[in-house]
Amino acid sequence: MSKVCQITGRRVRIGNNVSHSKRRTRRTFSPNLRMKRFFLEEEGRWVRLKVSTAGIREIEKNGLAATLRKAKKEGLLTKEY
């Protein structure tokens, strides 16, 4: 299962750990993902999404149906939600 938010598209990023002596070693920055259920009122059913906490805030702000339409248009939802 990939570490990608289905709403915002946030994914793993790669950077450096920098020690006190300025040595750089590679590391990954994982998004803050949660598996969360949302109730889709238009269809009267529950939807399970893997979303980042920023995606949860976006759903609360804009509404679930509008956010799902936007994510589908951007190609972030590949399969049926």
pLDDT in tens, 21-72: 999 999 999 999 999 999 999 999 999 999 999 999 999 999 999 999 999 9
Residue 60, judged by CB atoms within 10 A of its CB (0-12, 13-18, 19+), counts as: exposed
Specify the DSSP class assigned to residue 38.
E
CB atoms within 10 A of CB 43: 9
Q: Specify the residue for token string 């990023």.
A: 13
Token representation of residue 77: 């939802």
Residue 78 has pLDDT above 80, yes or no: no
pTM of this structure: 0.83
What's the confidence (pLDDT) of residue 67? 95
